[in-house]
Amino acid sequence: MTEPENLEGLYRSVYCRALYLTGDPTAAEDAAQETFARYVAHRPAGLRSPAAWLAQVVTRLCFDWMRRRRRAPEPRAELPEAPDTAPLPEEEAVRREEVARVRQALARLEPRDRQILLMRHASASYREIAAVVGCAENSVGQLLHRAERRLKDAYDEGEHPSR
């Protein structure tokens, strides 16, 4: 993860990570605020990368939220883009297309598959995943592999839709 260049960027990346994981703006705000409140309370000294510390804390808070809610994140609708009067450079246009394609692929999965994928991608342990998903820890590997395969298939299908 590239370090945010300014303080606003730091909050933004924490909030966005929470939003991405929970799919819920209110929960994301709560998580982001709690994250910074914990930073103040614990005041970890000598941090090389506060951004990484904050990312870790907010991720764990989101997992807690998921566990409490037993709710899988809904695929995010397109986040509002800032009004942009300048024409998009090609690189940016291509990037946005790719993002849309991935989102579409993810949306085609079952909620549990989505949840497992997002959690693992956010470095959740199998134990954490099991606790949220409600399965045995030793079946997470199988569930994860299947979810990854389904995502790949959904993505490939999106690129080359069968008639």
- H/E element, 82: none
Residue 106 sits in the site that holds other proteins (CB under 8 A):
yes
Residue 57 sits in the site that holds other proteins (CB under 8 A):
no
Residue 88 CA to residue 94 CA, distance in Å, equals: 10
Nearest partner of 130 among 61, 68, 138, 142, judged by Cα:
138
- Residue 95 vs residues 9, 88, 90, 99, 161: alpha-carbon distances, Å: 20, 10, 8, 6, 20
Q: Closest distance between other proteins and the C-beta of residue 139, in Å? A: 7
Residue 82 sits in the site that holds other proteins (CB under 8 A):
yes
Residue 155 sits in the site that holds other proteins (CB under 8 A):
yes
Residue 21 CA to residue 13 CA, distance in Å, equals: 12
Binding mask 6-25 for other proteins (x = CB under 8 A): xxx-xxxx-xxx-xx----x
Q: Which residues bind other proteins (CB under 8 A)?
A: 1, 3-4, 6-8, 10-13, 15-17, 19-20, 25, 29, 32-33, 36, 39-40, 43, 45, 47, 50-51, 76, 79-82, 95, 98-99, 102-103, 105-106, 117-118, 120-121, 125-126, 138-145, 147-149, 151-152, 155
